[in-house]
Structure 1
Amino acid sequence: MRVSTRLTAGSSLVLLLLLGALAYQLIQVRHLASISREVSRVGLRAARLSLSQIHDLDGLQQALRKYFVTRDPDYARLTRELGGQVSLRQQVLLGLPLSGVEREAVEAFGTAWRGLGEEVDPGPPAGPEADLLARVALAQKRARTVAEAAQEAVSAEASRAEASARRSQDVSLLAGLLALAASVIVLWATIRSIRKPLERLASATHAVAGGRFDLQLPSRCRDEFDQLAEDFNVMVRRLSELDQMKKDILSHVSHELKTPLAAVQETHQLLLEEIAGPLTGDQRRLLEMNLQSARRLSAMIAKLLDLARLEAGVMEYDLRPTDFSQVVGSALSLMEVRAGERGIALRTELPRDTLWVRGDGDRLFQVVENLLENAVKFSPSGSAVEVAAAWSAQTPPGRRGELLGPASPGAAGWVL
């Protein structure tokens, strides 16, 4: 499966989980809003009406007692007004969409109030005082039952809303955890699928940068990394072909130039030896300059050939006892003219005793010559290049084994 397909599938799964959680949240919000409207429209209104009935019945009880004591017509009128209000609120309660418990309580109150309301409504109360007050007390009790039922209904709706909110919270938390788990799984699977190809590609790139053009990455053409590996292999093959072409050209050109240059040097040498006839001073100077230039060009060609041998792995070394001080001295003599042209002083600090080492004298000379050439080339005018060498019996810090072994009898050591 392609990496982009895996990422798309994982992201779609996480998105579906989040969308599902959002849809459930919206449904729960609408449900809570419906409960809130129902509580406001029915439950709270029923509770207010029942409390108002209790208040009116309390006032009716007080008015009846005062009427039976004073027989004042104003109290009789007050009992009619309060009784009318209680009957009106009872009708409103019966018209509300009440719960079963609330409706039973309201109907029970209506049964207790029906006869009492007929007695206090038309005119002054005519029944016995004790009987009327007892019936009012019963109506009060039933009104309190209605109020309690209304409050219980409101509490039940509030409990429903709280339970719905808790469910919504739990579902949201679960959806969030599932989305997080899915995200972690997708991320882990993605990292796992791309880590190894990236490591192989990075390692191969590092190897190619180091000059290994025979490296090839496995490719099964299943995803983007396999396609990248295939393109990488094509690039490496082309680089290998170009590198081989460069080596062939350098080797061929160097070999082709080596023979004519040798002939030029031999010719100049014969002319300088005056085999063809005597030379004037100017002629000798010009021939010496030409011979020196030819030798420099020959040295450059020799370096190119050595580079080709190194890259091909066929460089050969003639290891024998060599005086390292003499190698350094020869290289310094060769660089004196060029250093003088740049105004750079060459300073040496070599021991009086011979520094015998086992190595290839020509290759050691090339190493020292290259070091001195770079030092003279990149040093500012008017500065100095110091060359020092010494023998040490102790191994320098950070070095293992022998760098240069002894060429003559004696303790092994290091030439620094």
Structure 2
Amino acid sequence: MKISTKIILGYALLILLMVTALIYQLALMHRLQTINGNLSAMKTRETDYSLRARDITQVIEDVQKFYLLKDPDYASQVKYQMDSLSADLSQDLERLKGDILSRDERTELQRFVSLWGDFKRSALEQEANFSVLTEEEFYRWLGGHTKNLEAQLQRVQKANQEAVNAQVEQSGKAGQKAEFVSKVAAGIAVVLSFVISIVVVRSIALSLRRLTSGARAVAEGEYSYRLDASGNDNFSQVARDFNFMVSKLDEREQVKRDYVSHVSHELKAPLAAMQETARLLMEGIPGPVNERQKRLLGLTLECGQRLSRTLVSLLDLSRIESDALDYEIERTDLREVIQSASREFEVQLAKNGRNLELDLPSESVYADCDGDRIAQIISNLIDNALKFSTAPAPIAIKAEVISGIPDGIPGVWRHRLGPANRDYILVKVSDRGRGVPDEHKELIFEKFHQVKFEKKIAGQGVGLGLVICKNIVTAHGGAIWVSDNLGGGSIFYILLPAAKPLPVSPPEQRRAAKDVQPAQT
């Protein structure tokens, strides 16, 4: 499902929830308005009942006055009041006919109207007999009707109050229900928003994480990296475009590697012939040469050797990138490897007036490695020390067996190494040169990266040596990094997993002991 579809569906659910809650709230508000209208009508009737009670009291008082005074005017006034009150009571009863909420009140009011009718008829019948009725007979007749009317009117008012209380209770319940529904709707909206946000953000974050990992892998030269493009969402389309881009980059990178490899192979043979020719001319085999000619031929030979080393580095890098660099792993004494690599620079050291100080263990230290490739790393670091430091600053190489991963190793290497509780061989190559700035300490192990100094250094390469060193060390499960040397210069560290020496027979042990040389200084 596309990201846009997920977002639309999520917000559609939220909108539907909010619309439903709004419709419910409107219906509830209408119901509350109806209840308020009913309460208003009931309160109005309560007021009317109070007025009716006052009118009845007035009628009874006028009846008493008529009995006592025998004034005809009071007779007509009483009759008028009774007719008016009967009309009012009929209207009250008519208003209650369609009110299903006040059935009890209507029933009680009907009874009151019936009692009032009885009183009215009885009063009209007794009007002619008022002159012959004794006071006791009059008040007994009047008291009986008055008592019944007052009791029934109280029942009417009570029924009205009960109806009012019922409506108030319904209003309270409706308000509580509205509050509950509002809270539930708000809670569901919050939870739904949270779930939708998590689903959308998770799908986006996961896809972006994969895309970021792919971009980093491609940036590091892993052109075989591909993203999962099996879905049908927006990121799947981005993944397909990404894979297409990487495949094109891989094709171009392969063309470049093939071109570099082909050109390096094509130049290797003519360059070797040129170096051999210059060497023969220097030796005077074709004929005698003077000192100036020897110096020029020597310069030509040195340039050819430097170009030859560059071609070898290009070929090694091409093999590394195509996973075609072979390693012959065997149990190897690193002390002998370091001594052998150091001897290759004896002439160059003597010529430049430099010293190479070796601090090696008195006993053999073994590692499962390709000795020639490790010697290539040592040679490259010695060559860099000679280039970037000047006489008479010495160059020092120290090797030792340590337990565990050393402090100061960069975090990127610490996570790649194996168990931390095993033995390692740590080789340090230090110089007193210009050093490596902090911002370049990791970048110098990338292809073609060079530290730019104010003055160009003679013989500076193209930035491939340390890249090859890094790949060789990585293939051996080790690490390589650089730090500052106290007093100036740099220290390059090579860390390799140590191996136990192979068991040897007693004659071989005696022969090995005879061949052991003390550490050179």
TM-score (norm 1): 0.72
Q: CA deviation at 1:374?
A: 5.9
Q: Aligned to 1:235, which of 245, 249, 269?
A: 245
Amino acid at match of 1:268: A
Answer yes or no: is the 8 Å Cα contact 1:68–1:129 preserved in 2: no
**Pairwise mapping of residues 37-52 of structure 1 onto structure 2 (< 5 A)?**
37-40=37-40, 42-52=41-51
Q: Is the 8 A contact 1:59 1:82 kept in 2?
A: no
Query: What letter corresponds to residue 158 of structure 2 in structure 1?
Result: E
CA positional deviation for 1:312: 3.1
Residue in structure 2 matched with residue 5 of structure 1 by the alignment: 5
Which amino acid letter does the alignment assign opposite residue 112 of structure 1? Answer: L
Residue 348 of structure 1, aligned match among 341, 357, 360 = 357
Query: What displacement does 1:286 show?
Result: 3.5
Task: Indicate the residue corresponding to 2:23 in structure 1.
Answer: 23
Q: How does 1:311-390 map to 2 (within 5 A)?
A: 311-316=321-326, 322-328=336-342, 330=344, 348-351=357-360, 362-372=372-382, 387-390=396-399
Residues 294, 356 of structure 1: CA spacing in aligned structure 2 closer, same or farther, 3 A cutoff? farther
Letter in 1 for 2:106: R
Q: Which residue of 1 aligns with 2:463?
A: none
* Letter aligned with residue 17 of structure 1: L
Query: 1:10-409 counterparts in 2 under 5 A?
Result: 10-40=10-40, 42-55=41-54, 57=56, 90=89, 93-94=92-93, 96-97=95-96, 98=99, 99-114=102-117, 128-168=138-178, 208=218, 211-217=221-227, 219-220=229-230, 222-275=232-285, 277-316=287-326, 322-328=336-342, 330=344, 348-351=357-360, 362-372=372-382, 387-392=396-401, 395-397=403-405, 398=420, 400=422, 402-403=497-498, 409=509
Structure 2 counterpart SS, 1:387: strand
**CA offsets per residue over residues 87-131 of structure 1, 9 Å max, x none?**
6864663453453332333333233334656869xx9x9572332
More displaced, 323-332 or 232-241? 323-332
SS of 2:377's partner is helix
8 Å Cα contact 2:361/2:400 also seen in 1: no
| Shift in CA distance, 334/149, structure 1 to aligned 2, threshold 3 Å | farther
**Distance in 2, Cα, partners of 1:194 & 1:222:** 14
Change in Cα spacing, 1:333 to 1:366, as seen in structure 2 (3 Å) is farther
Equivalent residue number for residue 447 of structure 2: none
Aligned CA distance change for structure 1 residues 377 and 158 (closer, same or farther; 3 Å): farther
CA shift, 1:36, in A, is 0.6
Question: What displacement does 1:56 show?
Answer: 5.3
Backbone CA RMSD of aligned residues: 4.9
Aligned to 2:465: none
Offset of residue 144 of structure 1 = 1.1
Paired letter, 1:29 = M
- Structure 2 gap segments, 5+ residues each: 406-419, 424-496, 503-507, 514-518
Task: Give the Cα separation in 1 of the matches to 2:90 and 2:120.
Answer: 13
For the 8 Å contact 2:282–2:294, the answer to whether it is kept is yes
One-letter code aligned to 1:20: T
Provide closer, same or farther for how the CA distance between residues 168 and 357 of structure 1 changes in structure 2, counting only shifts above 3 A. closer
Quote the Cα distance in structure 1 between the aligned partners of 2:239 and 2:144: 100
Give the deviation of 1:309 after TM superposition. Answer: 2.1
Residue identity (%): 29
Write the letter of the residue equivalent to 2:16: L
> Tell me, what secondary structure is at the counterpart of 1:314?
coil
CA contact (8 A) 2:32 2:171 kept: yes
CA spacing shift, 1:221–1:396, aligned 2, 3 Å? closer
**Cα distance in 2, alignment partners of residues 135 and 268 from structure 1:** 151
Q: Is the 8 A contact 2:63 2:78 kept in 1?
A: no
1:361/1:35 Cα in 2 relative to 1: closer, same or farther (>3 Å)? closer
Q: CA separation of 1:281/1:182 partners in 2, compared to 1, >3 Å: closer, same or farther?
A: same
Q: In the TM superposition, what is the alpha-carbon distance from 1:305 to its structure 2 partner? A: 0.9
Specify whether residues 332 and 10 from structure 1 end up closer, same or farther in structure 2 by C-alpha distance, changes over 3 A only: farther
1:148-183 Cα distance to aligned partner (Å, 9 max, x none): 121122123223334444554565566567667766
Instruction: Give the secondary-structure state (helix, strand or coil) at the position aligned to 2:320.
Output: helix
Q: Which moved more, 1:23-32 or 1:233-242?
A: 233-242
Contact 1:357 1:406 (C-alpha < 8 Å) held by counterparts: yes
Return the letter of the residue paired with 2:396. V
Q: What secondary structure, in the 3-state scheme, does the structure 2 residue paired with 1:389 have?
A: strand
User: Which structure's residues are more often helix, by fraction?
Assistant: 1
Alpha-carbon offset, residue 16 of structure 1: 2.1
Task: Tell me which moved more, 10-19 or 198-207.
Answer: 198-207
Deviation at 1:61, TM superposition (A): 6.3
CA-CA distance at 1:23 after TM superposition? 0.8
Deviates more, 1:218-227 or 1:189-198: 189-198
Alpha-carbon distance in structure 1 between the residues aligned to 2:142 and 2:387: 129
Shift of residue 19, structure 1, vs aligned partner: 1.6
CA distance in 2 between counterparts of 1:287 and 1:48 reads 131
Stretches of structure 1 lacking an aligned partner (at least 5 in a row): none
Could you say what secondary structure the match of 2:259 adopts?
helix
Identify if the C-alpha distance between structure 1 residues 268 and 94 changes in structure 2 by more than 3 Å, giving closer, same or farther. Answer: same
Amino acid at match of 2:498: L
CA offset at residue 248 of structure 1?
0.4
* Residues in 1 aligned to 2:259 and 2:221: alpha-carbon distance in whole angstroms: 18
Report if aligned partners of 2:385, 2:395 keep a CA contact under 8 Å in 1: no
Distance 2:48 2:394 in 1: 110
Task: Tell me how far apart the structure 1 counterparts of residues 224 and 361 of structure 2 sit (CA, whole Å).
Answer: 50
Q: Is the 8 A contact 2:268 2:311 kept in 1?
A: yes
- Report which stretch shifted further, 30-39 or 318-327: 318-327
- The alpha carbon displacement at 1:44 in A equals 0.6
Greater relative contact order (Cα < 8 A, sep 6+): 1
- Give the counterpart letter for 1:111 in structure 2: S
